[in-house]
Amino acid sequence: RALLVSDFSHEDEEEDEEEELRGLTVCVPPQAAAALCISVGSFSDPDDLPGLAHFLEHMVFMGSEKYPAENGFDAFLKKHGGTDNASTDCERTIFQFDVQRKYFREALDRWAQFFICPLMIEDAIDREVEAVDSEYQLARPSDSHRKEMLFGSLAKPGHPMSKFCWGNAQTLKHEPREKQINTYERLRLFWRRYYSAHYMTLTVQSKGTHRSCSVGEPRLDFSHLQQPFDTPAFNKLYRVVPVRKVHALTISWAVPPQGKHYRVKPLHYISWLIGHEGTGSILSLLRRKCWALALFGGNSETGFDQNTTYSIFSISITLTDQGYQNFYQVVHLVFQYLKMLQTLDPQQRIYEEIQKIEANEFHYQEQTDPIEFVENICENMQLFPKEDFLTGDQLMFEYDPQVISAALSLLTPGRANLLLLSPENEGLCPLREKWFGTCYSEEDVSNEWAHIWAGDFQLHPDLHLPVENRFIATDFALKTSDCPESDFPVRIVNSERGCLWYKKDNKFKIPKAYIRFNLISPVIQKSPENLVLFDLFVNILAHNLAEPAYEADVAQLEYKLVAGEHGLVIRLKGFNHKLPLLLKLIVDHLADFTAEPGVFAMFSEQLKKTYFNILIKPERLGKDVRLLILEHNRWSVIQKHQAVTKGLTVDDLLAFAGELKAELYAEGLVQGNFTSSESKEFLQYFIEKLQFRPLSTEVPVLFRVVELPHKQHLCKVKSLNKGDANSEVTVYYQVGPLQDVRLCPQMHMEEPCFDFLRTKETLGYQVYPTCRNTSGVLGFSVTVETQATKFSTEFVEAKIEDFLVGFGERLSGLSQEAFRTQVTALIKLKECEDAHLGEEVERNWFEVVTQQYVFTRLKKEIEALKLFAQEDLVSWFLEQRNSSGKLSVHVVGFGVEENDPAEQNADGPPSSAYGKVSELTFLPNSAPSLRDATLVTDIRAFTSSLPLHPYHKILS
| 236-271 pLDDT per residue, tens | 999 999 999 999 999 999 999 999 999 999 999 999
What ranges in 140-218 are assigned the alpha helix state H?
143-152, 169, 175-178, 183-194
* Contact (Cβ atoms closer than 8 angstroms) between residue 927 and residue 822: no
Assess whether 654 and 580 both reside in one domain: yes
Domain span including residue 128:
2-206
Model's pTM, two decimal places? 0.88
Rounded distance, CA 436 to CA 952, Å? 47
Rounded distance, CA 740 to CA 953, Å? 10
Active site residues: 57
Assess whether 633 and 757 both reside in one domain: no
Residue at which a domain ends, from 435, 454, 473: 454
At a CB cut-off of 8 Å and minimum separation 6, what does 377 contact? 35, 203, 210, 212, 389, 390
* Contact (Cβ atoms closer than 8 angstroms) between residue 861 and residue 740: yes
Assess whether 683 and 792 both reside in one domain: no
Rounded distance, CA 225 to CA 311, Å? 13
**Torsion, Cα of 559, 564, 569, 572 (10° steps):** -30
- H or E element at residue 139: helix 122-139
Closest residue by Cα to residue 732 from 756, 698, 750, 708? 708
Rounded distance, CA 94 to CA 403, Å? 31
What ranges in 647-792 are assigned the alpha helix state H?
650-662, 676-690, 746-753
Assess whether 681 and 746 both reside in one domain: no
Assess whether 159 and 254 both reside in one domain: no
Rounded distance, CA 193 to CA 38, Å? 12
Q: Residue 24's pLDDT is what?
A: 33
Assess whether 677 and 738 both reside in one domain: no
> What is the SS3 assignment for 90?
coil
**How does DSSP assign 485-526, residue by residue?**
--SS-EEEEE-SSEEEEEEE--SS--SEEEEEEEEE-SSGGG
At a CB cut-off of 8 Å and minimum separation 6, what does 724 contact? 140, 141, 243, 616, 618, 893, 894
Q: Does residue 745 belong to any structural domain of this protein?
A: yes
Q: Residue 21's pLDDT is what?
A: 39
Residue 930's identity, in one-letter code, is L
Residue at which a domain ends, from 157, 187, 206: 206
Q: How far is C-alpha 75 from the chain's CA centre? A: 26
Q: Residue 154's pLDDT is what?
A: 95
Q: Does residue 477 belong to any structural domain of this protein?
A: no
Total structural domains in the chain?
Answer: 4
* Burial of 494 from C-beta contacts in 10 A (0-12 / 13-18 / 19+): exposed
Residue at which a domain ends, from 454, 478, 500: 454
Rounded distance, CA 863 to CA 857, Å? 10
* Burial of 154 from C-beta contacts in 10 A (0-12 / 13-18 / 19+): buried
* Burial of 944 from C-beta contacts in 10 A (0-12 / 13-18 / 19+): exposed
Q: Residue 27's pLDDT is what?
A: 39
Q: Does residue 371 belong to any structural domain of this protein?
A: no
List, for the chain, all residue ranges whose pLDDT scores fall below the cut of 70.
Answer: 1-30, 208-210, 214-219, 739-747, 903-913, 952-956
Q: How many CA atoms are closer than 13 Å to the CA of 828, on its beta-carbon side? A: 20
Closest residue by Cα to residue 426 from 440, 444, 410, 412? 440
Question: Taking the alpha carbons of 573, 574, 577, 581 in that order, is the dihedral positive or negative?
Answer: negative
Buried residues in 678-687 as b, exposed as e (16+ CB within 10 A): bbbebbebbe
Rounded distance, CA 679 to CA 492, Å? 9
* Contact (Cβ atoms closer than 8 angstroms) between residue 603 and residue 543: yes
Assess whether 256 and 195 both reside in one domain: no
Q: Does residue 871 belong to any structural domain of this protein?
A: yes
> How many angstroms separate the Cα of 485 from the Cα of each of 1, 359, 504, 505, 507?
34, 31, 7, 9, 11
Rounded distance, CA 472 to CA 467, Å? 12
Rounded distance, CA 614 to CA 627, Å? 15
Q: Does residue 359 belong to any structural domain of this protein?
A: no
Q: Does residue 466 belong to any structural domain of this protein?
A: no
Closest residue by Cα to residue 429 from 147, 250, 421? 421
120: CATH:
3.30.830.10
* Contact (Cβ atoms closer than 8 angstroms) between residue 566 and residue 538: no
Buried residues in 887-922 as b, exposed as e (16+ CB within 10 A): bbbbbbbbbebbebeeeeeeeebbeebbbebeebee
Q: Residue 220's pLDDT is what?
A: 75
> What is the SS3 assignment for 260?
helix
* Burial of 931 from C-beta contacts in 10 A (0-12 / 13-18 / 19+): exposed
Assess whether 66 and 133 both reside in one domain: yes
Assess whether 243 and 199 both reside in one domain: no
Assess whether 676 and 729 both reside in one domain: no
Assess whether 877 and 927 both reside in one domain: yes
Q: Does residue 608 belong to any structural domain of this protein?
A: yes
Assess whether 758 and 663 both reside in one domain: no
Average pLDDT across the chain, whole number = 91
* Burial of 730 from C-beta contacts in 10 A (0-12 / 13-18 / 19+): buried
* Burial of 11 from C-beta contacts in 10 A (0-12 / 13-18 / 19+): middle
Q: Does residue 211 belong to any structural domain of this protein?
A: no
| 57-76 pLDDT per residue, tens | 999 999 999 999 999 999 99
**How does DSSP assign 533-568, residue by residue?**
HHHHHHHHHHHHHHTTTHHHHHTT-EEEEEE-SSEE
* Contact (Cβ atoms closer than 8 angstroms) between residue 725 and residue 788: yes
